[in-house]
Structure 1
């Protein structure tokens, strides 16, 4: 029995020009979003953020997905670097302080894993949303495989980027910063989802140049 590759189970057909192209030729763009400590804000600031976020949600005429990724943070390399600094330190007082700091970090992580959180917003766009594409809608309903022309791809991409800019503007009003992921960043993101242990130690495979476009 032939073993199926992971790629066969993914809905992703390809990633190009910062756009995720699904097998049904629907598109997705991904914004990486910063965080803010809501609890440290004053009551007036909290109310202002909630109000702006409500306005943002009410302004949307399309769906989107908010994704929170939690990843174990591996600080082995950081601890090794501290150890090197301790051994090279000639000042005895600084040497002791460096050793105590190492112990503090080790005790801190002994109480539980240190997790890093990343926040993403996934924005969709489909070919059938472009005026004059009713014929394509019928093909999608029948489950037929579509082939996008370069013109169709660029038209969809333009509309998708407009949506992404609209979402980024709405989130900036809430005090959040947004950055669209490019092709290599999207590939690394999906690779890390399926290889969490390697990503934890900071290993990412080299992406062939022909895939980055």
Structure 2
């Protein structure tokens, strides 16, 4: 009996990534904020308590749900090794050239035996609103079911309105994180695509997205 295999894309709820916003198939919007980590072990007991209480207060003040995702990846050390090898080629001092070669070999052996992991912390911020469809009654009444340009403009206006509401939530999240001593940055379109590329291609070794 033949199997009707479905494309992976059919199982992904994402319709498109547009202007730094994820548009879902059900009309919902999502934004992604990249946050750095805070090493509590380097803080005093009082500082730890203050940070935890501030974060607790921040979470309790939210009137919408958020999702926190942590991605662990093996760090790709190859670009760094290639850079060192290029420097070996232009190094004229024999002793420095030898030391650099030994250092390259040490790094290569070390990373082969120990997996160096990098972690990325993401906050996914949602906004869901009534979806306006081109064949809905409101569009038919407004445009008589004829003006495609009118429908397109109305859909664009609806998107911008929802995006504005989403950006307000992003601002709330970033301000709350800042009060906890956590730096953050909202991801743009290319960075969001990169995140999902890594999710769906876990076998590939990549570097981490960096905060400016």
Do both share a fold (TM > 0.5)? yes
What does 1:9-48 correspond to in 2, within 5 Å?
9-48=11-50
User: 2-side partners of 1:89 and 1:74: how far apart?
Assistant: 25
Q: Does 1:153 align with 2:159?
A: yes
Alignment check: 8 A CA contact 2:178 2:184 kept: yes
Segments of structure 1 that go 5 or more residues without pairing to the other structure are 130-134, 137-146, 203-213
Which of 44, 60, 63 in structure 2 is aligned with 1:61?
Answer: 63
Q: CA deviation at 1:3?
A: 4.3
CA distance in 2, matches of 1:109, 1:93: 24
Distance 2:43 2:22 in 1: 36
- Deviation digits for residues 35-84 of structure 1 (CA, Å, limit 9, x no counterpart): 12221112121111111101101111111000001111121232132223
Give structure 2 stretches of 5+ with no counterpart: 132-136, 139-151, 208-212
Supply the RMSD in Å over aligned alpha carbons: 2.4
When normalised by structure 1's length, the TM-score is 0.79
User: For the Cα contact (< 8 Å) 2:74–2:206, is it kept in 1?
Assistant: no
Q: Deviations over 1:165-200 (max 9, x none)?
A: 0010000111111111111211121122112334x2
2:73·2:206 contact (CA, 8 Å) conserved in 1?
no
Greater radius of gyration (CA): 2
Structure 1 runs (4+) greater than 3 angstroms displaced: none
Question: Within 2, Cα distance between the matches of 1:183 and 1:109?
Answer: 32
Give the corresponding residue for 1:175. 181
CA distance in 1, matches of 2:16, 2:166: 16
Distance in 1 (alpha carbons) for counterparts of 2:202 and 2:104 = 26
Map of 1:51 onto structure 2: 53
> 9-18 or 91-100: which moved more?
91-100
Partners of 1:25 and 1:201 in 2: how far apart?
Answer: 31
